[in-house]
Amino acid sequence: MSTIMDKSRGLAAERLADELREDILAGRLPSGARLGEVALAERFAVSRGPVRAALNLLSEAGIVTIVPNSGARVREMGRADARALYEIRAALEAEAAMLAASRAAPETAARFGDLLDQHAGEIAAHPEGAYLQGGGDRDFHMVVARMAGNPLILRYLARELYPQLSLLRVKHRNVVGRGAEALNEHKRIATAIADGDAEVAGLLMRRHIRNSWTALEAQLSETAGETE
C-alpha cells in the first residue's frame, strides 16, 4: 500500500493535507470554497503552523490556489486548465506505457490479467460508468505508471495530475458510459506492454487519453461557460 510516503515535512501537515484533499475530491469542499487558516486549525485541533504547511502542499498539488496576503481557496478549474491537463497527461502516460513495455517482465501479463478481470466484474456489476469513477480506471493507470520504473513520472501523476483530474470530475460529474470502451482500450494497452512493444503501447495509450479527453470535452460544453 504505502508506496510513496514522501512526508514532505512534519507528520501533522501531511495528515491535514490528506484529510483536506479527501474533502475536496469528494466534493464536500466545492470549487472556490474559502480555506481560512483559523477555521481549519480549530477543526483539526491544531495550530496554524501545520495548517499553512498543509495548504502549501495542496497548492503544489494544484488543487488549492493561494493568493499571498489574502488566503487559500479550492481551485476552480476552467476549460483551458482541463485541456492543459490532458495534454501533459498524454505525454507522460504515453511515455510511461513505452517505458513499461521496454521493461516488461514475464509476470507482467498475468498481473494485468487479474486486474482487468476484476475491472470487468466491476463494470458488469455497475454498468453505468462506475468504472471510470470508482477507481478501476485509476488503478490501471497507476499500475502502468509504476511499471514504468520512473519515480518522477509516477510522482507527478500520483501527486499532481490525478488529483487535478479528480477535481475536474467532481465539478463536472464526468461519468460517461465509456466504461466498456475504456476497458477494451486498457486490454489492448496491457497486451502491448506485456509483449514489450513500446511503440504500440505508447500510441495506444496516447489514443486512449485522447478519447477520454474527447468525451470529457463534450460534457464541458454542456456545462456552464468558463470563468477565465
Partner DNA sequence: GAGATGAAAATTGTCAACAATAATGGATAA
Partner DNA sequence: TTATCCATTATTGTTGACAATTTTCATCTC
Residues that bind a second copy (CB under 8 A): 7-11, 49, 52-53, 55-57, 59-60, 66, 68, 84-85, 87-88, 90-92, 94-95, 99, 150-153, 156
If the CB atoms of residues 92 and 167 are measured against a second copy, the closer one turns out to be 92
Amino acid code (one letter) for 4? I
* Cβ 53 vs Cβ 10: under 8 Å: yes
Q: Which does 115 bind (CB under 5 to 8 A by kind): a second copy, DNA, none?
A: none
Q: Which does 95 bind (CB under 5 to 8 A by kind): DNA, a second copy, none?
A: a second copy
* Minimum distance of DNA from residue 13's CB (angstroms): 5
Question: Which position among 32, 71, 149, 177 is part of the footprint of DNA (CB under 7 A)?
Answer: 71
Segment near DNA (CB under 7 A), from 43-51, 113-121, 164-172, 179-187? 43-51
* Minimum distance of a second copy from residue 134's CB (angstroms): 26
- 52 is a contact residue toward DNA (CB under 7 A): yes
- DSSP code per residue over the chain: --------S-HHHHHHHHHHHHHHHTTSS-TT-EE-HHHHHHHTTS-HHHHHHHHHHHHHHTSEEEETTTEEEEPPP-HHHHHHHHHHHHHHHHHHHHHHHHT--TTHHHHHHHHHHHHHHHHHH-TTTHHHHHSHHHHHHHHHHHHTT-HHHHHHIIIIIHHHHHHHHHHHT---S-HHHHHHHHHHHHHHHHTT-HHHHHHHHHHHHHHHHHHHHHHHHHSPPP--
CA–CA separation, 11 and 5 (whole Å): 11
* Cβ 8 vs Cβ 56: under 8 Å: no
Question: Which position among 2, 3, 70, 221 is part of the footprint of DNA (CB under 7 A)?
Answer: 70
- 12 is a contact residue toward DNA (CB under 7 A): yes
Question: Which position among 1, 5, 38, 152 is part of the footprint of DNA (CB under 7 A)?
Answer: 38
- 29 is a contact residue toward DNA (CB under 7 A): no
- 33 is a contact residue toward DNA (CB under 7 A): no
If the CB atoms of residues 60 and 181 are measured against a second copy, the closer one turns out to be 60
Q: Which does 194 bind (CB under 5 to 8 A by kind): DNA, a second copy, none?
A: none
Binding site for DNA (CB under 7 A): 9-13, 35-38, 46-50, 52-53, 66-72
